[in-house]
Structure 1
Amino acid sequence: MHPLTKLLVIIAIAALVFWLLTKVRESTRGDRVSFRPVEDLPLDVQQSIDHALAHDKKVTAIKLYRQATKAPLDAAKAAIDVREWKRG
């Protein structure tokens, strides 16, 4: 194989690997947090969370949400932030 052809093949393979790695990183970056809305939880859990938020105990509300859903911290915080925003 001609040396110039080899160089072009190597550059093409490197570009393909770079493109693939970029796509994998984008798909696993985790910019979006999915969570179950507080409104979908049992009424007693909703009331407990609302009570905690009414008394400025956001950490407690997050803990209650996590106990009820087994959600990771970032999802629980997002759900409580949305609940707090909806409550005004």
Structure 2
Amino acid sequence: MHPITKLIVLVAVAALVFWLVTKLRESTRGDKISFRPVEDLPAEVQQSIDLALAKGKKVTAIKLYRQATKAPLEAAKAAIDVREWKRG
């Protein structure tokens, strides 16, 4: 193999590895959870979530939030945790 070809292949592989590592780091960051606050949901949904939390059914509250917003599990849990914290 010609030395120039080896150099081009080496640079291409290095660029690919750099790109993959960058994408992997972006996808594993846990500090970027965005969610819609429960207070922004319709009153009926807020009441259902509050009732579930009052009964100690956090999983049900998370399910209700996810049904209303189509949010991923991590965002729904964060939103319910904040709602629970605000309620005291």
Gap runs ≥5 in structure 1: none
Aligned to 1:10: 9
Alpha-carbon shift at residue 4 of structure 1 (Å): 5.0
C-alpha offsets along residues 13-55 of structure 1, whole Å, 9 cap, x if unaligned? 2221111111222333363332211010012211221121122
Aligned length: 87
CA distance in 1, matches of 2:14, 2:72: 36
1:24 — aligned with what? Answer: 23
Name 1:38's counterpart in structure 2. 38
Structure 1 position 67, deviation (Å): 1.9
Q: TM-score, normalised by structure 1?
A: 0.76
Q: Distance in 1 between matches of 2:74 and 2:56?
A: 19
Name stretches of at least 5 consecutive residues in structure 2 with no aligned partner: none
Distance 1:7 1:22 in 2: 23
Q: State the match for 1:62 in structure 2.
A: 62
TM-score w.r.t. the length of structure 2 is 0.76
